[in-house]
Structure formats: C-alpha cells, structure tokens
Structure 1
Amino acid sequence: MRSRSLRRPETLVPLSSVAIMVVAFALIPAYTDSAIAPFDVYNTFQIFARLGLLALALGLTMIAGEFDLSVVGTYALGGMLAVQTGQEHWVYGLLAALAAGAVIGLVQGGVIAGLKLPSMPVTLATYITLLGLTSALSGGLTKTYSNASVTLWVDQTVLTFFSPRSLLTLGLFLLAAVVLSFTRWGRELRAIGGDRRASQVAGVRVDRLIVGTFMLSGMLSALGGSLLSFSLGSANPDPGVQPLIVAAAAALLGGLSLAGGRGNALGLLGGIMAVALLAEIVTVAALPGYVTQLFFAGLLGVIVVIDAPDLHRALVRQRTRLRPEGNPTSMLSRKRELS
C-alpha cells in the first residue's frame, strides 16, 4: 500500500524533483570553484520565501480545478499597499494588503461561481486591471519603504539558515498541509476539482468553496507581495510574468494536476523548494539566466504531456493489447485497469 502511494504523481513528482535538486546542490563544489556555505542554504530559503506564498495561492486554486492568473497582480498591489500605508507602522500596511487581497478574491470567486464562468479569462482580466491600478497608485514608479527596522527584521538570520520571512512562509505551508489533509474543506476542495457535478449532488456547497478558495488565494498573494516589499525596502508596480511562470512550475513540480482534484501542500512545498534550489545553483555556479528559463520550459512540456489524460489512456490500452490473452495475470490486471 505504501509503495503504491509513493508511485502517485502527487508524491512521486515532488520527491523526485527535490531529490534531484538536492543532489545537484550538494555537488556544487564538484563543478564550480565554490564550496557550499551556510549563506547558500539561507539564500535558498529566501528564494523560497519570495515565491512560496504565490505558489501556494496558485496551487490551492489548481486543486479546485481553477487557475488564478491574477495572483501576480494581487502580489504587486499587496506590496504597493503595504509600502504606502505602512510607512508609520507595518501592521497598517499589512492589514491594507490582506483586506485588498480578500476583496479581490471575493469579487473574482463570486463572478466565477455565480455566473459559471471559466476562471482563466476572468482572472486574466483581473491581473491586467490590478497592474494598471498598482501603476496608478504609484504613478508608475517604484516606491521606497522608509521603515528600515522592519526591513532588517524580516530578513535577519534565525537558526543560521532561516529568516522570519522564510519561517512564516514555511509555517503557512505546514498549516495548509494540515487543513488539506485533516479537514472537510480539504476533502471537498479535491472533490470539486475532480468532479464538480458529482460534488454538488453529494451536497458540497461548491460556490461557497470556490469563493473561499479565491479569497484565500488573494490574501496569500497579497501577503507574499507585502513581505517581499518589506524585505526589499521598496515596491515595484510591475513584477513581470516571471513570478507567475515560476509559481506554475512549482505547482506542477509539486504533483498538482492541470485538470484539478489532485495535490497537497507538502507536495507543493517540495515543488517550490526544488525551484529555489535550482535558482540558487544557477546563482552559485554563475550560469546564464536563460538556463533556468530553458529548464522550466522543457520541464513544463514534459509534465504537461505526461499528465495528459488521453495519452495515459492510450498507453494503458496499448499495454493491454501487448499482453498475452491467455495469461491469467494479464486478465486480472486488465480488470483492475478498467475498474
């Protein structure tokens, strides 16, 4: 039973990704002139903190069978609001960002659930709108955060390898893992991602769950943008599409399915840690930036092809045809596959 669960994509893909990246990270001294220092591990967790909450926000909507393209727009707006309203005290800025993220998620979720619209065009429109709003708030300029004590605090070294920002991000991943694994909300989230109509028949309040998931996605994105802006001491009105690409790559590396209904927070944690390790390897080895982009492009292509349901069914049918008809073992296996 345990070996069977290890072969599932939501377990196998993140474990394999992290294992490969850890080995590559450990072998850095073999192909560079640099030895691994504690700062390299610390910086890996800083990269994880930079994009972790964005990946978690996107991943939760993917489990529900949706895709929230607006996470980067909310990420940028949250960071800008945190900087502009939190100059005197960081709490005001953080609350403003979280409130904005909740409202954005509420509106998006309400429109998607209430009008039965596909999430991608709705969230794409929201993403474009949020970038325009963030640029309008800042006049198209990067805004400086003058509270240096907060900037120093969020990135101070804790236990050699961590910072308050990375520990908070890690804690939210673990909390999400508990909620998804041991609560009704987690079970129903996978259910609506796997078969929405059957979930409605079973009594799941699908619309409410979708709205709540998008609200949570908005708040996590806004929180991630706020923490990054506090860390950098500034807010950028347009972070570009790179954060979205990396978040999507982390989600797929975490074993999530583009079709929804599959995945967990620990797998997603493995996916984003694999991405962070790769980014640190590229930095330490002084590789060209396009190496990471090419890696992600190839990896996403492979995962999408492997995850294609029609291809999987075709391979199963072909394997069944190649088995001897008279073999009792093959007949039993065929019954299991058909069931």
Structure 2
Amino acid sequence: MLAETARPTAAPPTPPRLGFLRGWDTAIIAAVLVSILVASLTVEGFASPRNTGFLLIDMIPILLLALPMTLIILTGEIDLSVASIAGFISCLFGALWSSGLPLETIIPLCLLLGAVSGAVNGFLVSVVGLPSLAVTIGTLALYRGLAFVVLGDQAVTSFPRAITTALQAKIGATGIPVWIIPVLLLALVFGVVLHFTGFGRSLFAIGYSEDAARFAGITVARTKFWLFVASGAIAALVGIWWTLRYGSARGDNATGLELSVIAAVLLGGVSIFGGKGNLPGVIAGVALLAILRNALQLASVPEDTLSMLTGGLLIAAVVAPNAIVWGRTLRRKPHTT
C-alpha cells in the first residue's frame, strides 16, 4: 500500500454504478466542457478539425495507460514504470524490425515481453511483498536503461510510411482519428469490468481494506499480480503505438508520460489511497489534461510551463478531494459550547 490509513475492517459498501454523476467527477466533466468552450473562443485554431485530430491522437497513449493504472491505484498500489516499459518496447520493436522480422512476429513478441515486464513488478509487489512505489521507481530506471542498452543513442526510422500514415487516418473531414474508436471500445470494456462485475467490486474492496477483502475470499495477491501484468502489456502496446505514430524507435520515447497518466487518473477522482474512483471520471481527467496542454501549446506557452501545469494538477488532484472530505467532516461535527 502507498500509505497506512486507519480504516474499519468491515466490508466496504458496494461501489455505486453511477457514482460519477455527483461530486468531484461532475466538477471534472464540467471543467472539460468549460475548457473546450473557452479554448474554442480564445485560442486560434483550437476548434479546427486538424487540431481536433492532433488532440485526440495525443490522448490515445495517456488514455491507454490510464485504464490499467486506474485499477492498480484503486487497490492502493501504483505503477511508475509504464512509460519506461513503453520506451523499452519501442527500442525492442525497432531492433527487431532492423533485424528483418515481420510485424506479424514483432508485435506479439513485444506484447509478450511487456506482459513479462509487468509480471516482474507484480511478483515483487504481490509475492515478495515490497511496496509498489519503491518497486516501480526501481523498474522505471531499469527498463529505461534497458531501452538504451538495446539501441544506445541511435534511432530506427525505417518503418513503412504506409503504416505510420495509417495510424493518423481520420474519419472523413471530421478530424477524428480512426484509432480513437478501438481505444474507446477498450475503455468501455474496462468500465464494464470495473463497475458491473464481481472482479471490479473486488478491486474496491482491496483498496478499502485488504484484510476485509481476504476475509471475503478475495485472492488479493493474485489480483494485484495480474493487474501489473495487464499494465505491462498495455504499456507495450503504447510503445508500439508511439514508435509507429512518430516513425521512430528511440530510447527516450515516452519519457515522463507516467506523470501525465497518474495526474489524469487522480484528477479524475481516483483516491491515491485506493478504494474510491470510477472510469468515467478518469476519462474526463485525461481529456481535461490533454485539452489544457493542447490549448496552451497553440498559445505558444513554453514546455517548462506545461510541465509545471502537469505537476500542479497532480498536486491539486491529491489535495482537493481530501480537503473537500475534511471540510464535510468538520461541518458534521457537533459544536460544543
């Protein structure tokens, strides 16, 4: 767990299926709509189909990584190595392509190795019992180092132009990228699993109280292990996407992306302590972060300022919900004279 908190050992209440229709999540969804309106009126080119396409394409890797990250954080754990796994797989993808292997062989191999990378995290956390924060900080450095071992400071850019162009295909003149559709379908699958299945309810139970979850018959260690495996596999998918999207396999691909992912998940209302959150709020958090960055980039705001924005939103996403809960608790306390 990320932090020890005093919680009752009783089983948690069943998480509401439509919990995103109130509170913090509603505020984030409203902020997304307001941001779109303000940016469309004040930032030149923001509402154009061309920029819409770039905005949605840039959302794809963050949204993909946010799906398993949401489930992991709900259990009270975290995975800081996702961007490094993506960079490692990107380099491996480029090395295998340079060796002459076909994509039909490279892609399954890369996905498998991504799952194995996630399994290493899962084993150390769920079997050995090490804190996920410490484990994934270590593997963050390990996998990024392996990326440079594979390619060094070189880059592989000899990918077929037809493939790299296909990843930017749009739906007619709308500017909406074709590939956002399967990503949203995958998000729908994650949402159904999380909010409408026993497995999803078990994740809330684990995050609320591991002891209570074990008494209820939930295999906590096995569940966490497979969540990290899924996170590694999707990070590998992001590494493949990143490589083909930009037509380049490099050791620094996706550097720093984990901060944007975690900021989006926490901004979407998922508690850093686990046991609370939902996927619609996370999707809204991803959208809000992407919209703000895109609008500020169009307004020629320096990259350093954009990084400060991500950090500031990450802090706000942790502090604000807890401040709201503290305020409500304070109001409910009886006044003494």
Q: TM-score range by the shorter chain?
A: 0.7 to 0.9
- Aligned counterparts of 2:49 and 2:210: Cα–Cα separation in 1: 47
> Is the counterpart of residue 121 in structure 1 residue 138 in structure 2?
no
1:164 CA drift (Å): 3.6
1:5 CA drift (Å): 5.9
Contact 1:90 1:150 in 2 (8 A): no
SS at 2:179's partner residue? Answer: helix
Percent of paired sites with the same residue: 28
- Aligned counterparts of 2:136 and 2:324: Cα–Cα separation in 1: 30
1:295 is aligned to 309
User: What letter matches 1:8 in structure 2?
Assistant: G
1:178 is aligned to 192
1:180 CA drift (Å): 1.0
In the alignment, which of 83, 93, 98 is matched to residue 111 of structure 2?
98
Q: TM-score, normalised by structure 2?
A: 0.86
Contact 1:193 1:261 in 2 (8 A): yes
In the alignment, which of 304, 320, 323 is matched to residue 318 of structure 2?
304
Q: Which moved more, 1:312-321 or 1:182-191?
A: 312-321
2:9 is aligned to none
- Aligned counterparts of 1:91 and 1:14: Cα–Cα separation in 2: 40
Describe the superposition over 1:161-186 as per-residue Cα deviations: whole angstroms up to 9, x where unpaired: 33243333222212211111222221
Contact 1:83 1:230 in 2 (8 A): no
> Is the counterpart of residue 80 in structure 1 residue 91 in structure 2?
yes
Change (3 A) 1:292 1:151: same
1:317 CA drift (Å): 4.8
- Aligned counterparts of 2:61 and 2:223: Cα–Cα separation in 1: 27
User: What letter matches 1:278 in structure 2?
Assistant: L
1:39 is aligned to 50
2:65 is aligned to 54
- Aligned counterparts of 1:5 and 1:101: Cα–Cα separation in 2: 32
Change (3 A) 1:109 1:50: closer
Q: Which has the higher helix share?
A: 1
- Aligned counterparts of 2:191 and 2:334: Cα–Cα separation in 1: 41
1:48 CA drift (Å): 0.6
Question: Map of 1:1-339 to 2, 5 A cutoff?
Answer: 6-9=21-24, 11-28=25-42, 32-34=43-45, 36-86=47-97, 88-159=101-172, 160-239=174-253, 241-308=255-322, 314-321=326-333
Q: CA RMSD in A?
A: 2.5
- Aligned counterparts of 1:4 and 1:70: Cα–Cα separation in 2: 30
Change (3 A) 1:91 1:267: farther
Structure 1 segments, 4+ long, off by >4 Å, are 1-5, 32-35, 311-314, 321-325
User: What letter matches 2:120 in structure 1?
Assistant: V
1:300 CA drift (Å): 2.4
Q: Choose 1 or 2 for highest CA Rg.
A: 1
1:188 CA drift (Å): 0.9
1:286 CA drift (Å): 2.2
- Mind listing any 5+ residue stretches in structure 2 that lack a counterpart? 1-15
Q: TM-score, normalised by structure 1?
A: 0.85
1:335 is aligned to none
Contact 2:263 2:317 in 1 (8 A): no
Contact 1:81 1:96 in 2 (8 A): no
- Aligned counterparts of 2:83 and 2:309: Cα–Cα separation in 1: 22
1:90 CA drift (Å): 2.4
- Aligned counterparts of 2:141 and 2:51: Cα–Cα separation in 1: 35
User: What letter matches 2:242 in structure 1?
Assistant: L
Contact 1:57 1:71 in 2 (8 A): no
1:147 CA drift (Å): 2.1
- Aligned counterparts of 1:122 and 1:131: Cα–Cα separation in 2: 14
